Structure 1
Amino acid sequence: PAITFLLMAPAANIMAIIFTSEIISWKLALARIVFSFIGAIIIGMIVAKTPWGKKIEDKYMEMAGKRHTKIQEMAIEDKFWETMHVAGDLARRVVPYLALGLVFVSFVEAYLPKEIVAKWLTGIHGVFLGGAIGVPTYTPTLVEVFFTKALINLGMSPSAALAFLIGAPMASIPSMLGVSRVVGWKVVLTYAILAIIVAIISGLIYLGLGVGL
């Protein structure tokens, strides 16, 4: 469960899905949540079967139990302020990156030649590249939606866009660096490789179905 949540949270959280639906299309948003959900479960099950995955699952099951007990013992007022504190801390972290990300996306859309996008981010090879470029390309939470929309405007295919939207949040290098401090590199590299494979397969299925935007 811990690994599955770790993958599902960035790839298909409620805000990411709403943004995808409103800014790109509801079809891509639906495909994103379905493929991310199925992929996260499969990857979580595979990683949990590895020796290093089992250690992480056991560790966080124990921590979750202690945390649940602590929360249950808190008064309602304390629970409210704890929630507000977490929400405020999250907003302070996300908003600056969101603003910088939007500036970056604007530059990409303005200066990246359409010919390059149309050549490399369409068709089958576009799906493979879309799933892979999310690794070195760090897009902060929700910014990946704006970035993908900019690339679509420049000629990126919907199937390549889906592969990027699934692969980038799960397996970007900065995300892996942060997560590795918590779960270790063996778990991170295992789920990252599997996440890229899931992203590519999802894009290929979407391409084969010919759904589009």
Structure 2
Amino acid sequence: MGTFIQNQILGMLWLKTLTGKMLTAFGLDIESRIGGSVHFFLYDVIKITLLLFVLIFIISYIQSFFPPERSKKILSRCKGFPARVIAALLGTVTSFCSCSSIPLFMGFTTAGLPLGVTFSFLISSPMVDFASLILLTSIFGWKIAIAYVVLGLVVAIAGGTIIEHLHMEDQIEMFLTPVKCCCSCSKAKTTQKQRLVSSMHSVTDTLKKVFPYILLSVAVGAVIHNWIPENWIINTLGVKNPLGVILAVFAGIPMYSDIFGCISISESLLAKGALLGVVLSFMMAVTTLSLPSLIMLKKVIKTKLLVVFVSICVTGIILVGYFFNVFQTLFLN
């Protein structure tokens, strides 16, 4: 039953078979490079779009029960390590877009919540969420998905703990200016109908913003899958390069995307021989440390704290990457 859910419901292998038969019926050889690229592109675009539609609707509906004011109340009830754990967990039910995480981070900070708590939330929110769990399960399986989320939470909690013990409250800008969020960050709705309508709006808004990145990511994935020599991937990002994780992290930082926008690239790299830790660390870097989000964050924290934040995230992601590399056989068997 578990295999059926992973392969047919989440992985949508039925869709892969269907699109393959359709292309074959039109006279395209899906075993050729061109045909294989078209098949990969069509299948992945439809699959990821369907998953995005369902997941964003569910996430947005859950978010309607956790408006900023309620989140502040939840976090203010705890102190110390438990508060950082709750903050990291709370990040998993927020939007996967970092542009919405930063305004929430600002609100938590101005409300007087400890810096470690707010940073645990800030790290967790874009790095690990419900969408990550489901999407990674559909591609890599439940063991990898759960480990990815758990280790992401560990990085978030550890990062918040380090920042809190560094006592860097003076590194927060005194006058925080509102940062416009590109997501649908409306207040919680009070009726069931309003929640559903708001969730649908979130789906359409997110799809408009993310879909171009999905197309680009899948196109790159199709090229990697059908045109890039396997030996080149293995030599660069596989077992022959012990620095592959570090390379992947710094390659991911300049990109502006989310997990939906980089999943196809990661899937293709793994299929071509890249190590699991390299692929997952690349995804973490893209979702957590994109340049646009760092530029936005620089508006509300000073350079010293920003450097500490980036250093903690980079170090944590690299350690997670090497963890998956070491135990790759355990997760992929």
Superposed pair shares fold, TM > 0.5: yes
CA–CA distance in structure 2, aligned partners of residues 30 and 148 of structure 1: 17
After superposition, residues 42-81 of structure 1 pair within 5 angstroms as: 42-48=158-164, 49-51=166-168, 55=172, 76=191, 80=195
CA deviations over 1:81-140 (Å, ceiling 9, x no partner): 555544443333223322332223223333333222101212432223233322234444
Structure showing greater Rg:
2
Q: Aligned runs of 1:10-159 on 2, under 5 Å?
A: 10-48=126-164, 49-51=166-168, 55=172, 76=191, 80=195, 84-123=200-239, 124-159=242-277
**C-alpha distance in 1, partners of 2:226/2:300?**
38
Distance 1:167 1:142 in 2: 14
Q: How many Å separate the matches in 2 of 1:114 and 1:27?
A: 25
TM-score, normalization by structure 1:
0.76
Aligned-partner Cα distance in 2 for 1:154–1:33: 24
Partner residue, 2:313: 195
Separation in 1, partners of 2:134, 2:213 = 19
Point out the more displaced range, 112-121 or 42-51.
42-51
1:37-76 per-position Cα deviation (integer Å, ceiling 9, x unaligned): 00011112323445258737xx7xxxxxxxxxx958x753
Which is worse superposed, 148-157 or 115-124?
115-124
Segments of 5+ residues of structure 1 without an aligned counterpart are: 60-69
Paired residue for 1:65? none
Matched with 2:290 is 172
- Deviation, structure 1 residue 150: 0.7
Is the 8 Å Cα contact of residues 133 and 145 (structure 2) preserved in structure 1? yes
In structure 2, distance between residues paired with 1:196 and 1:202: 10
**Is the 1:16–1:145 Cα contact (8 Å) retained in structure 2?**
no
TM-superposed deviation, 1:21: 1.1
Aligned residue for 2:316, secondary structure, equals helix
Quick one: which amino acid aligns to residue 107 of structure 1? V
Q: Do the aligned partners of 2:253 and 2:286 also contact (CA within 8 Å) in 1?
A: yes
Q: Secondary structure at the match of 1:142?
A: helix
Report sequence identity in percent: 20
CA distance in 2, matches of 1:30, 1:110: 29
Question: Kindly tell me: are residues 184 and 148 of structure 1, through their superposed partners in 2, closer, same or farther at Cα, counting changes over 3 Å?
Answer: farther
The residue identity in structure 2 corresponding to 1:171 is L
Give the number of the structure whose residues are more often helix, by fraction: 1
Q: Which has the higher contact order (CA 8 A, sep 6+)?
A: 1
Aligned to 2:121: 5
With the length of structure 2 as denominator, give the TM-score of the two structures: 0.52
Q: Hey, what's the Cα distance between the residues in 1 that align with 2:276 and 2:320?
A: 11
The structural deviation recorded for 1:183 is 4.7
Q: Distance in 1 between matches of 2:302 and 2:292?
A: 14
Tell me how far 1:146 sits from its aligned partner.
1.5
Distance of 1:50 and 1:71 partners within structure 2: 32
d(CA) in 2 for partners of 1:182, 1:89: 26
Measured in 2, the distance between the counterparts of 1:53 and 1:20 equals 38
Is 2:255–2:286's contact at 8 Å kept on the other side of the alignment? yes
Residue in 2 that maps onto 1:66? none
Residues 136-160 of structure 1, C-alpha deviation per residue, up to 9 Å, x if partnerless? 3444441222211110111101122
CA separation of 1:100/1:162 partners in 2, compared to 1, >3 Å: closer, same or farther?
Answer: closer
Q: Distance in 1 between matches of 2:258 and 2:284?
A: 14
| Cα offsets for 1:153-191 (capped at 9, x unmatched) | 111011222322322211232332344345565444332
Deviation at 1:13, TM superposition (A): 1.3
Number of paired residues? 203
User: 5+ unaligned residues in a row in structure 2: which ranges?
Assistant: 1-116, 177-185
Cα deviation, residue 204, structure 1: 1.9
